[in-house]
Amino acid sequence: MLSSNPNNVVHFDTLIIGSGLAGLSLALKLADKQKIGIATKKLLLDGASAWAQGGIAAVQSPDDSLADHIQDTQKAGAGLCDPVTTRFVVEQGANAVRWLIDQGVPFSKEENGTGEFHLTREGGHSHRRIIHAADATGKAVQQTLSEKVLSHPNITVLENHIAVDLITAKKLGLSEQRCLGAYILNSTTGDVLTVAANNTVLTTGGAGKVYLYTTNPDTATGDGIAMGWRAGCRVSNMEFMQFHPTCLYHPHAKSFLISEAVRGEGGLLKLPDGTRFMPWHDERGELAPRDVVARAIDYEMKKRGLDCVYLDISHQSESFLREHFPTIHARCLALGIDIAKQPIPVVPAMHFTCGGLMTDLNARTDIPDLYAIGETASTGLHGANRLASNSLLECLVFADSASKDILHKSMHAIPPLPNWDESRVTDADELVVISHNWDELRRFMWDYVGIVRTTKRLQRAHHRIKLLHEEINEYYRNFHVTSDLLELRNLVQTADLIVQSALSRHESRGLHFSKDYPTTLPNAIPTILQPKT
């Protein structure tokens, strides 16, 4: 769908697609020396980073150590964490946190008046090492950085702009492959913008909306992963979709997360009759890694026919809960749940995409001049299961390494780019096709590709995805693009990668649990998918 008209092309030194922590921090690290564009599909603060409650894991206490943080990460990752990447990220942790402090992020401090930052503990961690801003860390970080981004003269923010696809040299028939920019839809006007960039960075987050129940915002539709795959990038470990154990179970509480830190501060998981059940499943109890806790809850719910289980933190004082969990306390209270007096109804929900586009230590993908950071990328840090609060850390560390790599590169001349061609498409006649396919996809992914899997369920999902692919591609070829169509197209592509990866793993490891292959193989091997050229 390209034309030969090269007019009206916008140029940036670096185009960042996505406005989470990875995107904003990278923009600030580059903007003094480059012209930066940030394209975000809704508003600047609408991404998943702003929803992060728990905090950022980094070694900052004298009784903690880099070796312990590395070991905790590798243990949670079920042997699949890349050791070089893990050490690299953990070693940069303190510097990453210091940079945020220098930006003015208001992290919580101890009550003793020493000025020291309060560190909490979460599941899978052997020490208190989570720095946080009460129970709304992501929001505090994003608000602080967004103010700096919006005031910087070298940064242009394009809100309500969703990327359609990447522009690569290969697509233009050139011999040397590299990324040249992207086509971006202004979802307000319906116009498609041609953006040329010497560097393009995908920071679009994960793919939580591929599932019916998720803690992710509506923006998490796997856009960067799908675009990178279509452009020719390899993906890795897409079968490892992390389900957060404790999402608030309430008809009016869409996607509201009950932070891992609630269990870190003594919260206990209980059945409706008040009986604890986690000790039956793991000696670490409520502080076991997320995959263990999510499967335990799923098992107890299915075994007993329960709609939910309960997380009880009522043994803590109301003043403690208001101070440490003000957002959770207020949200639950508004729904008629006083967490100081009664347990919180919770269920597992899809939370984090551990796999993604394969990247190196500088966040480079397989395509020159194309980078991926954060949940869009598969760095090797998370392995088969992400350790709590390592995600924001990963965003910061790789934004820093990517910025250094970008600034040390020489700029390439960008050839004339063709504008988006809509001369052979029309307005869609029935939008119900998109909403129906979206609903069908999310329901069968939840039923067939959830916390516990079987080969037969995966094959059923694979068959349905193939049919959806054909229908959506036909729709894409014949009608004007819309935000809903682009998101659905990306979700179906991402779902296909998840199912392909799951079918190829003949074992149970970390977040991937198969009834047909319940044992764990002695060697941990990443799942790598290669696009057809």
Query: Is the sign of the CA dihedral 283, 348, 526, 91 positive or negative?
Result: negative
CA 396 centroid distance within chain: 14
* Residue 239 three-state SS: coil
Instruction: Kindly report each contact of residues 65-74 with a partner whose C-beta sits within 8 Å and lies 24 or more positions away, as own/partner.
Output: 66/90, 66/91, 68/126, 68/127, 69/93, 69/127, 69/129, 71/126, 72/124, 72/125, 72/126, 72/387, 73/381, 73/383, 73/387, 73/390, 74/383
Strands of 56-178, DSSP E: 56-57, 119-120, 130-131, 155-159, 161-168
Residue 84 in tokens: 């070089």
Quote the CA–CA distance of 219 and 197 in Å, as a whole number. 23
**In b/e form, how buried is each residue of 291-330, taking b as 16+ CB within 10 angstroms?**
bbbbbbbbebbeeeebebbbbbbbebeeeebeebbeebbe
Rg (CA), the chain: 22
The CA distance from 516 to 100, in Å, is 45
Q: Using CA atoms, how far apart are residues 34 and 455, in angstroms rounded to an integer?
A: 49
Rounded distance between C-alpha atoms, residue 119 and residue 220, angstroms = 29
Residues 6+ apart with CB under 8 A from 25: 99, 145, 395, 396, 399, 400
Is residue 331 annotated as part of the catalytic site, yes or no? no
274 to each of 118, 212, 342, how far by Cα in Å? 31, 28, 11
Asked whether 346 and 374 are in contact (CB, 8 A), the reply is no
Q: Hey, how many other C-beta atoms are within 10 angstroms of the C-beta on 153?
A: 7
**Selection from 346, 347, 348, 351 nearest residue 242 by Cα:** 351
User: Which contiguous run of DSSP H or E holds residue 457?
Assistant: helix 455-478
Phi, psi of 226 (to 5 degrees): -65, -45
Q: What is the DSSP string of 92-117?
A: THHHHHHHHHHHT----B-TTSS-PB
**Tokens at residue 125, please?**
């961690």
Neighbours of 113 (CB within 10 A): 7
Q: Of residues 121, 290, 489, 509, which has the active-site annotation?
A: 290
Nearest to 55 by CA among 112, 102, 111, 123: 123
| Distance between CA atoms of residues 506 and 336, nearest Å | 45
**Interatomic CA distance for residues 111 and 115, integer angstroms:** 8
Question: Which residues are identified as catalytic?
Answer: 290
